[in-house]
Structure 1
Amino acid sequence: MDFDIASLDPALPVLIAGPTASGKSTLALTIARAQGGVVVNADALQVFANWRVLTARPDAAQEAIAPHALYGHVPGDSAYSVGHWLRDVAPLLAGGARPIIVGGTGLYFSALTEGLAEIPPTPDAVRAEADARLAREGHGAMLAELDGATSARIDVLNPARVQRAWEVQRATGRGLAAWQDATPPPLLPLDRTQALVIDAPRDWLRDRIARRFDAMLAAGALDEARANLDGWSDALPSAKAIGARELIAHLQGALSLDEARARAITASQQYAKRQRTWFRARMGDWQRIPVGASL
């Protein structure tokens, strides 16, 4: 069905989820232009200051149309978790401009609308042990040590999620699922929002991802990677930006630009597949907006 922006209540917060390259930021900006509000980032990669082009952060022209918040505010070498994001977003919910919260990180939205378990910080020694095991053994070994309830709940194909769950269990002696079951009330319950999720067909999205990466290259993504080359490390929090490792490998002489491009596009398409799976499983109560709907 077509989506009519006029059907939205300008007084209620809007949530917009969608896979990478699906057009969710355009929808958010269109709503802000029509009804007012502040566009708030809910993408775990767009928080980093050192990757603007590669993470498709809004450009200066888009930011001039409406206020934006929580984009590029975190140094690339600083850890940033969903807990950090909740603390940053809380003041934006307290009053003032109506928030239009947009992004592709499903965990941010679930923590916002369902609550986040108050898990103690991971000790540095446990994090170092987990990093070493991941590099040496892969995430499968850590996955095998998780309790059944946690294994059934997390994305077992995502090494970062598996490592996080293992760290929690190792540090606290309690499974991540048990911590989550003791979750406090959410900052923004879903029934107090207008929650939209973009429904993008797989083949349409795959083609759009490829075209968008080429547009990123044309817009200076390689120059951006060159600016990140000095001091580059796979261990940096911002190194998770999709395409970063591939472009850095090209600049280091390990890949041709064509190889880097192909691998980055594949990585982005795989990421979009995981996002779509999450949204189908966890956002059944959200209003689905088919790609191509009238905006």
Structure 2
Amino acid sequence: MLTALLARLTPDRPVLLAGPTASGKSSLALAIAEAQGRSVVNADALQVFDGWRILTARPGPEELDRAEHLLYGHRPVDADYSVGAWLREVAPLLTRQPAPVVVGGTGLYFSALTEGLAEIPPIDTSVRSAARLKLAEGGPEALIAELDPVTRARIDLANPVRVRRAWEVARQTGRGMADWHAATGAPILPPERAHLLHLVAPKDWLASRIVRRLDAMLADGVLDEARAIAPSWHPRLASAKAIGAAEFVALARGEITEADALARTAVSTRQYAKRQRTWFRRRMASWTTLDAVAISAMLRDPQEHIGFVNEIGARGTLDESRRQTYDGRTAGTDDV
């Protein structure tokens, strides 16, 4: 199976590999990199920070020894970072030969890379403060009510971060987010110049892996990681958006129990995986879909769940009935 996949991946083109959290995309990226002499480039907005290696599931020493990894943990935990900054850093890496494997779960990074990014001016602190105040007082609905109809139709209204960002842009610039996106320039990496791969996984399989990964994080020392960060941690930091950061910092400070921290983080992670799967399904319909369960079994991933093993299609895609099951349309409703 891996041999068939590798045969389709020409070394002169970057491989873009997207997938929801805990789907095994890092393991597949490493396998591709090792087999073809490629480097692995991070496309996860939280793995760029140096303070949360365990919590964000950044590659460990063993993985780093097996292939070169770039843009992982290279920014201070208290630094700001944006998709624009990531694009500027990733652009020169794409010219390497063999071309790298770009892997992660931040959909905005991939869309900006392959579709272009609107050059929106920086948002003033006063505007951010006003957005936070309005969000605290009236919830996302208060911000949504002030967005233009086109922007409302195009953004994920269930994602408060996206809603707040759209409101801030409109307040700062006088133009809606949709208007800015309409003026987007040419992409750094047009889709036809890359191999586009999307790991698809059923929610129950992901949920099981999420629980086991949290247990592994606890065993690997995530609480020590939180204790080291807690004195300088602030919820407004970009790195604070890491799922579980607030919970494990609260645990480190003695504010909640270990059981509460694990339970809350598990729920948040499942909700995040649902948002990722929805976003990828809508925005990556033309990408080659790979069966995460079969890939995991093939790679003998330690978190592999035997009960869900399936064979990948001859062309590396899922047929429609199985795609619907994986999307949650026939498998039941995701956690909300």
Partner of 2:322: none
Q: In structure 1, how many angstroms separate the alpha carbons of the residues matched to 2:131 and 2:78?
A: 18
Report if aligned partners of 2:11, 2:97 keep a CA contact under 8 Å in 1: no
Q: How does 1:1-295 map to 2 (within 5 A)?
A: 4-291=5-292, 292-293=294-295, 294=298
The Cα RMSD (Å) is 1.4
Q: Which has the higher contact order (CA 8 A, sep 6+)?
A: 1
Deviation per CA, 1:83-123: give whole Å up to 9, x if none: 11111111112334411100000010000000001111112
Deviation per CA, 1:142-182: give whole Å up to 9, x if none: 11111111111111111111111001000110000000001
Describe the SS at the equivalent of 1:4.
Answer: helix
Q: Give the AA of the match of 1:99.
A: P
Change (3 A) 1:14 1:274: same
What are the ranges of 5 or more consecutive residues in structure 2 without an aligned counterpart? 300-336
Q: In structure 2, how many angstroms separate the alpha carbons of the residues matched to 1:112 and 1:151?
A: 23
Q: Give the AA of the match of 1:191.
A: E
How far apart are 1:212 and its partner, in Å?
A: 0.5
Alignment size in residue pairs = 295
Q: In structure 2, how many angstroms separate the alpha carbons of the residues matched to 1:83 and 1:228?
A: 26
What is the TM-score when the length of structure 2 is the normalising length? 0.85
How far apart are 1:4 and its partner, in Å?
A: 2.5
Change (3 A) 1:37 1:75: same
Q: Give the AA of the match of 1:80.
A: Y
Identity %: 58
Partner of 2:313: none
| Runs of at least 4 residues off by over 4 Å | none
What are the ranges of 5 or more consecutive residues in structure 1 without an aligned counterpart? none
Deviation per CA, 1:44-84: give whole Å up to 9, x if none: 11011111000000011101111111111111222211111
How far apart are 1:218 and its partner, in Å?
A: 0.5
How far apart are 1:131 and its partner, in Å?
A: 2.3
Deviation per CA, 1:235-268: give whole Å up to 9, x if none: 1111111111111122223211001101001100
